[in-house]
Structure 1
Amino acid sequence: MKKTDVHTIPIEDLLTKSTAAYLMDTPFPDNRLSKIPLWKKIWNEKRLERLLKTLKKDLHPYISEFKAYAEPAANRDNARVVKLKELVIDTLEKIDEKKLLFDQPFLTYFLSQGYMDAAEGFLLKAETDDAQLSHVDIFQAMRNVWIMNSLQLYWGNPVKVTAPMYAYSMLYPYTDNLLDNPEIDTRIKKAFNQRLSKALSGEKVDACSDTEKRIFILVDEIFEQFPKNTFPAVTESIQLIHKAQVESLKQTADKSLSEDDILKISLFKGGTSVLADAFLLTGSLNREQMVFSFHYGAFLQLLDDLQDKESDLKEQTQTRFTIRDTQESMDNEITKLIAYIYKVNSPDSSDDQTKARLKDIISRCTLIMVMESVGKNLGCVTPAFYRKLESYSKVRLKTYRALQEQIESIMESIV
């Protein structure tokens, strides 16, 4: 048997463990959360609103220089660009100092670990490599970079953007835009998946479009760093996420899927995604690292499914949340998701201070994203469950939409 044919990733076991953990009857993690009084939420909201308004006003004089910042010949040490970044950092530090979103200085921690520098380098390279990519596409890729950065922190490695990390993250907007586009015929998607599968196995494949050509170049860049004969698990992990993407097409095409089938597809897609992230950072993983990475991706995918419920309903995509047709059933499903997040991020006796901190950050940040999603869809859960979620939030749930709009307005003015 060839070395590249040996399966090193226990994918069935990882999927079975994550499925069991999600379906386990676990209560809401009240004991790990603190309730925030209403007056404090309103106070936090007003301070956040003032900080963001002030930031937008203060940024205005520096925007023109920043818009030219992505040009290849741009002066990276431009004093006005430096000032713009200082204003953003100062605002994030004040949000932490006043504990407006978290009790712990999570934002400051990420800044101190080099997150902004890594993000800046990634954005500049992405805009230079492909000027046709939208900012939405680039930030979609950036999200995966942040996940990989968090894994670097979790395992005590420096935060930076490596060549394989960049290439793999950039695959997301290119492949997702094609596979998730309802206007593209299923037969075209299947044909593309077949070509991509060959490329991911190391074969040379002729591209049928400029987008495919770019995708295959990115795949080649990954294999330059991790040759398949030397790093078979890296190749296997990338093939697994591709297999998961192909499986996810059933969520739209196959109306006979059971609830368990739908859950496993989401867990498989999300779990293999971050599993590939992890392999591309280290080249190899032990069992504990694989389990953590798979769980991490699994709950992030379920969070995506929650956030995308309305668009998935329109596209007739089956997820654990689109098949819920009552508020009570949504209460139960969201409780399962929150319990799963906190369960797999529970502190372990072997965790060092960094791992314990990252688990806490991941749990609390994803909980905020759940709250934000519920806040945007006021009628999706029962009033009692809405109040329960809101009681643990630093702001009222409906405020998350306004905060997001403020942040998007700031980002749009800059980029």
Structure 2
Amino acid sequence: MINHAALYRKVQNQFIATWENCPEHFPAPKKRFSYFEKRIWESKFDRFMKYVQYEAKHEHPNKSEITQQCKLFFQEALAYSNEQLELIFSKNMTAATKDFIQQAWHFDPQLTNHEIFQALRNVWIMLGLQSFFGKEIVITPSLLAYSLLYPYTDNLMDDASVGKEEKLNFCKRFASRLDGKQVEAQTRTESRIYDLVAKIESEFDREIYPEVYLSLLAIHDAQTKRLALVSCKPRLSKKETFKICIEKGACSVIADGYLVLGNIDEKQLVFLYEYGAYLQILDDLQDARQDYLDGIMTCFSRKLPYENLDKILCKTYFLGKAFYESISNLYPNQLTFQGLVQKSFGLLFLASIFENQEDFSVDFVRKIEKHAPFRFSFLQKRKKELEPFRNLLLQKIEAYRLEACKV
């Protein structure tokens, strides 16, 4: 068994050092899209969106055809490879997603489709880790439980109507429950949270898998620390802010790894830490403006409105390059996964800039747009048309729930 705490600090310090050494100048991506190329990609986008809008009007959309059209769109319009598409749209991945939705609804019929959709992000990360580490792609009790903790605990911690003291009191009780102590729940939501901990305990004996519960305590501690980012005075230093920001994401994916594998080695911990930390950075980048309005001072939102995000976004880009190189060094045979991460993160990167253009200089946005497959003016006009696609996803969740009712 590895010394988790010591190795965690070592990896954390290395990751922070890499971030601090990342340059702030504009990168020089190799690929540029000409006006003609953009129009071709945009025509493919329009063709796909017309299909989505057509299906969205139907009470019972053709689910298999939707999947095929999505695969075609990812391949033709977003340039995903066949191997990457097989990983995303595999029958095992689809079946496990459906199983999660139905099990989640059976656990708590009061969960909304939006809350289940919120939980699916972690589900897909854990299913991806099962595939990455050669495990069976299946919904385990701990995968169900840990993924559902997100809509419960995150929404409670983000609820502006719940006072800081009340949140801290809940955090103390929750920590005791994660530590194996019996705790009396104060609300229905808290009772559901403790039921989810019991599900994890049904799969992982505390005596045999102590690191599993240490990892759960670590993500809980990181979540609690993020309260310090809320309008803190005096303001935390840049390094302290960055450390708190990445800790939640890193700890979350490390916990995912423990719940998939039971125990993890040093190489696995390094990969899981960097994967989770970078995911959190991209999240904070996307949410910078909303975090600022909510008084949450991440390493991105704290710069608003004093300066634009040009330089820190460049640092984020180069940190991503360092992460891809790390995956290549740790797991040289996982080329499909590495390419999938690079492609998906790149699209998230561009989406963050497009959605938050006011946070960057005009010149910076123009430079970035040259390397995007779509014109930003085109995306702006089509922005409202993306809503039917989200509605289709929610319809699919609802359909799975209705199937569960009949069982």
- TM-score above 0.5: yes
Query: Looking at both structures, which has the greater relative contact order when contacts are Cα pairs under 8 Å and sequence separation is at least 6?
Result: 2
Cα distance in 1 for partners of 2:27, 2:85 equals 23
| Native 8 Å contact 2:22 2:319 kept in 1 | no
1:102 corresponding residue in structure 2:
79
Alpha carbons of 1:328 and 1:222: their partners in 2 closer, same or farther (altered >3 Å)? same
Query: What residue ranges of structure 2 are gaps of 5+ in the alignment?
Result: 399-407
What's the secondary structure of 1:159's corresponding residue? Answer: coil
Q: What amino acid does structure 2 have at the position aligned with 1:111?
A: F
Q: Which residue, out of 9, 12, 15, partners 1:15? A: 12
Alpha carbons of 1:92 and 1:123: their partners in 2 closer, same or farther (altered >3 Å)? same
Query: What residue ranges of structure 1 are gaps of 5+ in the alignment?
Result: 64-82
RMSD: 2.3
2:225 corresponding residue in structure 1:
247
Q: Deviation per CA, 1:11-40, whole angstroms, max 9, x where unpaired?
A: 211221221122222466645x52222222
Q: What amino acid does structure 1 have at the position aligned with 2:350?
A: M
1:274 corresponding residue in structure 2:
253
Cα distance in 1 for partners of 2:62, 2:242 equals 44
Cα distance in 2 for partners of 1:116, 1:179 equals 31
Q: What amino acid does structure 1 have at the position aligned with 2:328?
A: D
What's the secondary structure of 1:156's corresponding residue? Answer: coil
2:161 corresponding residue in structure 1:
183
Structure 1: 4+ residue segments shifted above 6 A:
none
Q: What amino acid does structure 2 have at the position aligned with 1:348?
A: S
1:155 corresponding residue in structure 2:
133
Question: Given the alignment of the two structures, is residue 296 of structure 1 paired with residue 275 of structure 2, yes or no?
Answer: yes
TM-score (ref. length: structure 2): 0.89
2:180 corresponding residue in structure 1:
202
Question: Which has the larger displacement, 43-52 or 210-219?
Answer: 43-52
Question: Which has the larger displacement, 383-392 or 229-238?
Answer: 383-392
Q: Where does 1:156-171 land on structure 2 (aligned, <5 Å)?
A: 156-171=134-149
> Cα offset for 1:269?
1.1
Cα distance in 1 for partners of 2:26, 2:55 equals 42
> Cα offset for 1:282?
0.2
Cα distance in 2 for partners of 1:49, 1:336 equals 33
Cα distance in 1 for partners of 2:131, 2:367 equals 32
> Cα offset for 1:329?
4.5
| Native 8 Å contact 2:310 2:360 kept in 1 | yes
Question: Given the alignment of the two structures, is residue 283 of structure 1 paired with residue 280 of structure 2, yes or no?
Answer: no
| Native 8 Å contact 1:18 1:267 kept in 2 | no
Cα distance in 2 for partners of 1:194, 1:215 equals 14
1:66 corresponding residue in structure 2:
none
| Native 8 Å contact 1:263 1:320 kept in 2 | yes
Question: Given the alignment of the two structures, is residue 324 of structure 1 paired with residue 306 of structure 2, yes or no?
Answer: no
Question: Given the alignment of the two structures, is residue 410 of structure 1 paired with residue 403 of structure 2, yes or no?
Answer: no
Alpha carbons of 1:225 and 1:208: their partners in 2 closer, same or farther (altered >3 Å)? same
Q: Where does 1:13-162 land on structure 2 (aligned, <5 Å)?
A: 13-26=10-23, 30=28, 33-58=30-55, 60-61=57-58, 63=60, 84-98=62-76, 100-105=77-82, 106-112=84-90, 114-162=92-140
Cα distance in 1 for partners of 2:144, 2:359 equals 37
Q: How many residues align?
A: 389
What's the secondary structure of 2:192's corresponding residue? Answer: helix
Overall identity of the aligned pairs, in %: 28
Q: Deviation per CA, 1:257-302, whole angstroms, max 9, x where unpaired?
A: 1111110001111110101011110011111110111111111111
What's the secondary structure of 1:393's corresponding residue? Answer: coil
1:80 corresponding residue in structure 2:
none
